[in-house]
Chain A
């Protein structure tokens, strides 16, 4: 597989996942460099069209990363994101893209290891390992 074909787009909530990614960097915890992080104010800002656009533009996987359930700064943002991820997953299945290529992840701002594990798992899935 071409190195350029395994890109993951990660929509990261600035209250949790975006900080987690920064924290992972600060701790020099290395993870695959195929992930491209897009900062959003809340996972609830991520729309189905953003997820689909990523696949249209050649992304191999999409992660929507928000706060843990019950701890969303905007109360319902992460649960709405979860619903949209599910919706996008169903649409992708219909066009023949494996549903596991898009995933909702709930993180607390200090869960750097979990962030890395999710990125690695998605990369492995994409690369067929």
Chain B
């Protein structure tokens, strides 16, 4: 098909005064394959759009160049306009002569504008159509982990009308919620919370529960995953459109960082909770209880939240004196500052150290020596019990799971929660979400918000039953592919898999829905077998070459 380029130049209401538009028009008309050049003052107005459509039809134009404002403002609008004229929306190339030319320079920039139009026109020659298609998606969702986060996710999804399969490693649902004493200010105890959630999950017809089961394999892409589940000897298979991982966390009860040995006096948070739940069983009321925080990890919010809750509970039920040794107390989670104030008002003493406290035994009690930086003095405390912070760690199997999914973890081994571009719950792979303790952040309110955010994203993705995708925008040319697996390895979104084309050959295939369009694969492919329409090699090179041509 012969290329017939139509160029529409907009002078933005004659405001781009440092470009000589008649001159640009005159020069542009001489470019190769350009059949029509239009100079307008307001291309974005309704009547101009109608004009563009009629000109494209009249002149039989099959590539459109728009020279005007930044593409991010109006690219979609002009894409629709040329679609109206019967062209594929990819046959559009834009020259940014406003933000990156006229506005950015003081002097006369007619030549630069001309060159930008030439670059866009050169690129336009190589544009290929990209079809759009509705792709069906599976509306079933898999939730891995039957703790608080997992159950809440499943319940919320069922509220949105999505059926879920819940897979839990342990024999019963519940996870670690039962280990907490309570949440200050929340009336329901963790146990009540658990039993009501368990009941809701079990009674819900939309939630299929597998306990004592684990995920053996995850195959496929967003909208169409196949999951192999192992339950004892049984092997099951389920398909789903999206997955939520709520695999939780584990704790190291007496972290090595303390160099402490478990003792009758040095106890874990869990032991303290047991004591608090049955205060009658204690031989005598402990006079002084100390807490040590922040020795191993400064960032985790769980120890701070649980320490404050426990300190208050100790005050209320045992009436002991409470001392909290901490380096820094992060009160950024919702309600924690209030909790801290409350604790102080009730007489909990906070001592701030910078060097690790020295802990030893003396006369059957625990002696803690630390230098309080606020007082500027050495503090020595003898306490009946010292509650050691539990170090929060990623659960077992995190590494295996992340390598199976091809999803990265942060330096501590938790699922990444740092990349601002991926939003709080999404992962680098479309359709896979992480919530709860497996992200390392254990602030209760945030977990709840994360769960709602993840379930809403899934609802958005799956509820229409089909998703509009651009078919083969990024495409592997099978005859060029040497099956070196480089693209499979580098794709940050896990969107490339090998597929068998015949008995002899396997080639890489890019899944349209999972692809996020970065083009890393196209740049790295040693055989240059991957074509990224819109940013194909010949299109980028055409732009580069247009810079070199003399005007």
Within 8 Å of chain A (Cβ to Cβ): is B417? no
For residues 42 through 69 of chain A, which have their beta carbon under 8 Å from a beta carbon of chain B?
A: 42, 44-47, 49-50, 53-54, 56-59, 67
Within 8 Å of chain A (Cβ to Cβ): is B253? no
Contact B104 A76 (CB under 8 A): no
Contact A50 B419 (CB under 8 A): no
Closest to A13 in B: B518
For residues 236 through 288 of chain B, which have their beta carbon under 8 Å from a beta carbon of chain A?
A: none
CA distance A33 to B113 in the complex (A): 10
**From DSSP, what is the main secondary structure of chain B's interface residues?**
helix
Closest to B548 in A: A57
Q: Would you give the 0/1 interface string for A1-43, flagging 1 where the beta carbon is closer than 8 Å to chain B?
A: 0001001010000110011011011101111010011111110
Within 8 Å of chain B (Cβ to Cβ): is A100? no
Contact B548 A58 (CB under 8 A): yes
Contact of A44 among B72, B102, B523, B534 (CB under 8 A): B523
Q: How far is the CB of A19 from chain B (nearest CB, A)?
A: 7
Closest to B69 in A: A22
Within 8 Å of chain B (Cβ to Cβ): is A101? no
Query: Which of B93-101, B180-188, B447-455 touches A?
Result: B93-101
Contact B518 A57 (CB under 8 A): no
Determine which residue in B101, B102, B523, B540 has the highest number of CB atoms from chain A within 10 A of its CB, and name it.
B523
Within 8 Å of chain B (Cβ to Cβ): is A74? yes
Contact of A80 among B100, B418, B428, B520 (CB under 8 A): B520
Contact B419 A71 (CB under 8 A): yes
**A37 with B96, Cβ < 8 A, contacts A73-B518, A77-B492 known:** yes
Contact A49 B535 (CB under 8 A): no
Q: Would you give the 0/1 interface string for B536-551, flagging 1 where the beta carbon is closer than 8 Å to chain A?
A: 0100110111011010
Q: Provide the residues of chain A in CB contact with B550, threshold 8 Å.
A: 4
Q: Would you give the 0/1 interface string for B126-137, flagging 1 where the beta carbon is closer than 8 Å to chain A?
A: 000000000000
Contact B119 A36 (CB under 8 A): yes
Q: How far is the CB of A57 from chain B (nearest CB, A)?
A: 3
A-B contacts at CB below 8 angstroms, number: 134
CA distance A37 to B519 in the complex (A): 18
Determine which residue in A21, A25, A72 has the highest number of CB atoms from chain B within 10 A of its CB, and name it.
A25
CA distance A51 to B22 in the complex (A): 33
CA distance A33 to B490 in the complex (A): 36
Within 8 Å of chain A (Cβ to Cβ): is B70? yes
Within 8 Å of chain B (Cβ to Cβ): is A103? no
CA distance A53 to B538 in the complex (A): 11
Contact B103 A25 (CB under 8 A): yes
Q: Would you give the 0/1 interface string for B415-426, flagging 1 where the beta carbon is closer than 8 Å to chain A?
A: 000111100000
Within 8 Å of chain A (Cβ to Cβ): is B107? yes
Q: Provide the residues of chain B in CB contact with A56, threshold 8 Å.
A: 548
Contact B543 A38 (CB under 8 A): yes
Contact B544 A21 (CB under 8 A): no
CA distance A79 to B107 in the complex (A): 36
CA distance A14 to B100 in the complex (A): 13
Closest to B522 in A: A45
CA distance A24 to B70 in the complex (A): 12
Closest to B525 in A: A47
Contact of A74 among B492, B524, B535 (CB under 8 A): B492
**A53 with B518, Cβ < 8 A, contacts A22-B99, A24-B104, A41-B535 known:** no
Contact B420 A71 (CB under 8 A): yes
Contact A53 B109 (CB under 8 A): no
Within 8 Å of chain B (Cβ to Cβ): is A91? no
Report the interface size for chain B: residues with CB under 8 A from the other chain.
48
For residues 504 through 529 of chain B, which have their beta carbon under 8 Å from a beta carbon of chain A?
A: 516-520, 522-524
Within 8 Å of chain A (Cβ to Cβ): is B532? yes
CA distance A71 to B419 in the complex (A): 6
Q: Provide the residues of chain B in CB contact with A36, threshold 8 Å.
A: 112, 115-116, 119, 547
**A50 with B541, Cβ < 8 A, contacts A29-B104, A84-B523 known:** yes
Q: Provide the residues of chain B in CB contact with A42, threshold 8 Å.
A: 518-520
Determine which residue in B100, B102, B105 has the highest number of CB atoms from chain A within 10 A of its CB, and name it.
B100
**A70 with B418, Cβ < 8 A, contacts A44-B520, A45-B532 known:** yes
Q: Provide the residues of chain B in CB contact with A28, threshold 8 Å.
A: 103-104
Contact B537 A47 (CB under 8 A): yes
Q: How far is the CB of A67 from chain B (nearest CB, A)?
A: 8
Q: Provide the residues of chain A in CB contact with B70, threshold 8 Å.
A: 22, 25
Within 8 Å of chain A (Cβ to Cβ): is B79? no
Closest to B474 in A: A41
CA distance A76 to B516 in the complex (A): 13
CA distance A45 to B522 in the complex (A): 7
Contact A76 B547 (CB under 8 A): no
**A80 with B96, Cβ < 8 A, contacts A30-B106, A38-B119, A58-B548 known:** no
CA distance A67 to B107 in the complex (A): 30
Closest to B73 in A: A22
Within 8 Å of chain A (Cβ to Cβ): is B71? yes
CA distance A61 to B65 in the complex (A): 27
Contact B544 A44 (CB under 8 A): no
Contact B100 A21 (CB under 8 A): yes
Contact B419 A33 (CB under 8 A): no
Contact of A75 among B105, B428, B537 (CB under 8 A): B428
**A38 with B103, Cβ < 8 A, contacts A22-B72, A45-B518 known:** no
Contact A41 B519 (CB under 8 A): yes
Contact B520 A76 (CB under 8 A): yes
Q: Provide the residues of chain A in CB contact with B112, threshold 8 Å.
A: 33, 36
Contact B109 A33 (CB under 8 A): yes
Closest to B115 in A: A36
Q: Provide the residues of chain A in CB contact with B115, threshold 8 Å.
A: 36
CA distance A19 to B72 in the complex (A): 9
Q: List 10 A-B contacts (CB under 8 A).
A: A9-B544, A25-B98, A25-B103, A36-B547, A37-B96, A38-B119, A47-B523, A49-B537, A50-B537, A56-B548
9 smallest beta-carbon distances between A and B, as pairs: A57-B548, A45-B519, A25-B99, A74-B518, A25-B103, A44-B520, A42-B518, A22-B99, A75-B492
